[in-house]
Amino acid sequence: MQQPPKLPLKILRFFCAEHRLEEIEGDLFEEFQDQVQAYGYRKARRLYYWTVIRSFRSYLFDYQSNSTHPLSFITMIRHYLKTSLRGMLKHKSFTAINILGLSLGLAYFMILSLFITDVILKDNFIPNRAKIYRLEVLKPLDFTDKYEARTHPDFAVILNRNYPQIENYLRINALNENMTITVKRGDKKEFYKQRGLEADTSFFSFFPFQLIDGNQKEVLSEPHSIIVTESMAAKLFGEEDPIGKIVYLPIREGANYTVTGVLKDIKENSSIEFDYLVPNYSPYDIASGAYSPSANYLMLTSGTDIKQLITGFNNTIKEAGAAKRLQNLNYRLTEFEEVKFDTEATDDVVQTMSKSTVILFTIVAFLILILALFNYMNLTAARALQKGQEAGIRKIIGAGRGSFIFQFLTESLIFCTISMLVSLLVLEVSLPYFESILGNPLHFDYKSSLPFFLVYFGLIILLALLSALYPALVVSRFRFSEFLKGKAMSSTKGNMLRKGLVVFQFSISIILTLGTVMVQKQLRYIQNETLTYNPEQILIVERSISSNLDDFKKSLKDIPEISISSLTSSPPGGENLYASGPIAGLDIRGYYHQVDGDYINMLKLEITEGESFDGNSTSDIDQGVIINETLANIIRSKNPMNLEDPLSGKYSFLAIPTKIRGVVKDFHLGSFHNEIQPMALFYHDFAGSSGARVMIKVSTTDISETLNKIETKWNEFIPNSKFGVEFMDAKFDQLYTAETRLANIFNLFTGVALFISCLGLLGLIGFITESKTKEVGIRKVMGASVGQILFLFTGQVYKLILLACLVGVPAAYWLINRWLDNFAYKTNFSFGLALLVMVSMFALTSLTIIIKSVKAATHNPVDALRSE
Amino acid sequence: MKGTFLGEFEEVVLLSTCVLDKNAYANLVKEEVEKHTERNINLSAIHSSLYRLEKKGFLSSELGEASKKRGGKRKRLFKPTPYGLQAVQQIKEIRESLWNNMPQTLFQNS
């Protein structure tokens, strides 16, 4: 008699349930014998293999409950799945709270992670990024301690000539975004605003942006050529072929530019974004010292020793015949990959985000995740104890710690998987909203990224493991008799940890809420409270050059809605400057601004000493200058001329000895991040051809009507220049976009954190009320009122919240003060607000508790006591 | 009636078991089914159906004797339960009543 092959039989014997093995093996053996006779050994053998393979069906794995088969746990999993699902369906509100909390936490964690990943992966599409460096200088003569990213444009050329390690250079500059681009269409003119860069031809060997039309080497060789992106071409020229079209740009005295190339739209995750590109223009001689600065990027051969390279720079520049103020500088080469994090030395070309913001995001992301995780663990553990009797019976039957862990793991996995799906939905829905808050779109395409889903899945597994462990340990610690007596639910075991988790949750919520409130307070402070004027009422007309500026200003008096107007180089709300330079004898850099006679009145600035400009004199220098308190204090303390009254001397602001007419109280021209600089206001009558911005104070509700009137006057007096107007508060807002975004993000995440915490509380209260059903029943029978019973529940929670306040408020105090240190001018941490936050926290928790426990308190005690 | 639902293949297996009368075990059932349906059937499909029918309560089983032909292993003998018999009868009745109502003209032309 032929024997069937051994291997398939072994496999069958391993997998098959014990009670089925004998008959199946026998059947197979018999069939094999029949087939040997019918078809011969070889075919029978093949058929035998085939039948064994086909036998892998459910009946093969039908292990019995007393089975010792190594795979019999499959039956247990089936059992766990069934009991878990039943439990979930039975306690629907608990399940909903759990899944909602977990999926919200997960979704918002993932959103933040995606944005952080996006920042980290920024510019990864640039193949040469590791070789690119930005040249930055520190000028000791200017008395600043900040490196400047924009330097003399000849530096790069000279260095490239002298050092073989420098393969290539690129000088690049951002053009004013508000500049008006004019396109003639027939006899009509159309105006556009786009982001532009000026750059060397080497731009394309530094950055891999792709041209659709035009040759990389030639497109920027003509001085009056312009490259536009696809979308800008579509905006400006519609369907027509953009090549050869003429565009007027008001840069360098204004000129017509011919489109020589079309660029593919920048879809990559790039820190450099622009709509058009014009060739670099640098007629400045290194010997003259006067120049308009430009960002200098260098491409180094790999493996260059940066420190050693820099040491020679000063000598090389000097030998090239540099002007005196360009000698003896401190140089620094910053890696391109670091440039995007440098918010101090910016060149306006590369968009920056400070590392501390990235870190802050990371912290918030993990806080949210931890919050959600704790929530889940807490609820699950509470739930597990509630199922005490079930666990007791399991223990009696012989369930060990391992099997408890396994049971909870199954349950966690179900919860986590559902939460994962829900969170993906939340992610998808809230991403656009989040993108709009943050102000930049997400480049990372997570939907088609395998690593993203792997990480996501890994995270889910990890969460499931973590959250299963705690309840399993809590449950398995009890003896089964305790369970059966119903002691577990009211036991204090594990209570400390559970309460600790709630305290932790609410501490985080308090920190986040206080953070939100304080960020808002600081924003309000810097935007409004320190200003002596109302920026919402002041219009600023873009800088223009004309000899009619003064006439235009005078004509504005005809418009009744305008109370006052002023011509100046420097309206508040931006980094505006007339000139700056070192002041001889004082070792500081002074900042100078041109103002007319109305400037001080209009901004309601306070003259503390001396007098204001009278506005009658025409001579600029004879009027003297008005300095701010900061400068006055410096002059007083240094007193370089040893005068009895240091302010009575003449100081060479702008190289001409000038007397000081008065002192004005310090006021902000720029961002509140910066200290107020020592500044001097120069009187100017703007009678001849001069450049200025116009500030116009309007007091009316009908803004558009007034604007029309102003524009009519403008076109009458200054027809050759565009009328670009903006409210001052909008300018201020632009200065604080980073803070506004931060505030918005804080709002959103605080909302989420509070919501999750309240969900946790809701679940916990639900657990407490349920475990105290009998106690409440007895109390009611004895005559307790609804209020007393509510107090029973709230009392416990209030203690926890109070503890959370004690932890959260000092922590918030510390953190917020660190953030406020970023500002030169800041509000104080307000304990009144902290109190308010605490009170609202109590109100919120009370509301949560009442929602959940009123039912327990008003229930008929008979229902609670009847069942035993 | 959910319990009486029988798939087409299950029905054939159940009927074959009835036909074999007390001798039905997987290999014989397979032969029987193959003979009547002229189909090639894998033994595992028969196993699967038999165990499922047993679970549904149409069949009951007991272990039979071992033989040398089976490598010394015992066989599991299946027989229909009263419920199983009732089910096949019911199916037959349903079919017959349908056939009785079949319009005569339907098959004349084909």
Predicted confidence (pLDDT) at residue A799 exceeds the cutoff of 50: yes
pLDDT at A604: 83
Q: What is the pLDDT of residues A532-566, one digit of tens each?
A: 677 778 888 877 777 888 888 888 888 888 888 88
Q: What is the pLDDT of residues A499-519, one digit of tens each?
A: 787 788 888 888 888 887 887
Q: Which residue has 């993990």 as its token pair?
A: A366
Give the residue on B whose Cα is nearest the Cα of A20.
B76
Confidence of residue A624 (pLDDT cuts 50, 70, 90): confident
What is the percentage of chain A residues whose pLDDT exceeds 70?
A: 91
Confidence of residue A359 (pLDDT cuts 50, 70, 90): confident
Q: Is residue B56 within 8 angstroms of chain A, CB to CB?
A: no
What is the percentage of chain A residues whose pLDDT exceeds 90?
A: 2
Phi first, then psi: what are they for A625, rounded to 5°? -115, 155
pLDDT at A486: 57
Q: What is the pLDDT of residues A282-292, one digit of tens each?
A: 667 777 666 77
pLDDT at A617: 58
Predicted confidence (pLDDT) at residue B50 exceeds the cutoff of 90: yes
Q: Is A292 helix (H, G, I), strand (E, B) or coil?
A: coil
pLDDT at A380: 78
What is the arithmetic mean of pLDDT over A580-591? 75
Rounded Cα–Cα distance for residues A702 and A706 (Å): 7
Confidence of residue A260 (pLDDT cuts 50, 70, 90): confident
Predicted confidence (pLDDT) at residue B1 exceeds the cutoff of 50: no
* Burial group, residue A836, by CB count within 10 angstroms (0-12, 13-18, 19+): middle
pLDDT at A491: 55
Confidence of residue A478 (pLDDT cuts 50, 70, 90): low
Predicted confidence (pLDDT) at residue A691 exceeds the cutoff of 60: yes
Return the structure tokens found at A863.
């229902």
Q: What is the pLDDT of residues A153-203, one digit of tens each?
A: 888 888 888 888 888 889 888 887 767 788 887 777 777 878 888 888 888
pLDDT at A173: 85
Instruction: Answer whether 0.90 is exceeded by the pTM.
Output: no
Q: Considering only residues 14 to 33 of chain A, which have any Cβ-Cβ distance to chain B shorter than 8 Å?
A: 20, 22-31, 33
Most confident listed range (A417-431, A465-479, A786-800, A829-843): A417-431
Cβ distance B43 to A27 less than 8 Å, yes or no, reads: yes
Confidence of residue A816 (pLDDT cuts 50, 70, 90): confident
Cβ distance B69 to A24 less than 8 Å, yes or no, reads: no
Rounded Cα–Cα distance for residues A447 and A431 (Å): 12
Confidence of residue A868 (pLDDT cuts 50, 70, 90): low
What is the arithmetic mean of pLDDT over A734-757? 77
Residue A546's beta-bridge partner residues? A690
pLDDT at A469: 79
Predicted confidence (pLDDT) at residue A113 exceeds the cutoff of 80: yes
How high does pLDDT run on average in chain B?
87
Domain ranges of chain A: 6-71, 73-121+371-493, 150-339, 494-529+735-868, 549-717
Confidence of residue A488 (pLDDT cuts 50, 70, 90): low
Q: Closest approach of chain A CAs to the CA of B96, in angstroms?
A: 34
Domains and CATH numbers, chain B: 8-95 (1.10.10.10)
* Burial group, residue A632, by CB count within 10 angstroms (0-12, 13-18, 19+): buried
Q: Report the residue from A25, A54, A62 with minimal CB separation from B44.
A: A54
How high does pLDDT run on average in chain A?
81
pLDDT at A618: 58
Complex-level ipTM: 0.89
Rounded Cα–Cα distance for residues A270 and A126 (Å): 9
* Residues in contact with A864: Cβ distance below 8 Å, sequence separation at least 6, in sequence order: A773, A774, A776, A777, A780
Cβ distance A31 to B66 less than 8 Å, yes or no, reads: no
Q: What is the pLDDT of residues A57-70, one digit of tens each?
A: 888 888 877 777 77
Cβ neighbours of A651 (radius 10 Å) = 23
Confidence of residue B30 (pLDDT cuts 50, 70, 90): very high
Q: Report the residue from A27, A54, A55 with minimal CB separation from B75.
A: A27
Predicted confidence (pLDDT) at residue B46 exceeds the cutoff of 90: yes
Predicted confidence (pLDDT) at residue B2 exceeds the cutoff of 50: no
Return the structure tokens found at A812.
């918030």
Q: Is residue A240 within 8 angstroms of chain B, CB to CB?
A: no
What is the arithmetic mean of pLDDT over A247-273? 82
* Residues in contact with A458: Cβ distance below 8 Å, sequence separation at least 6, in sequence order: none
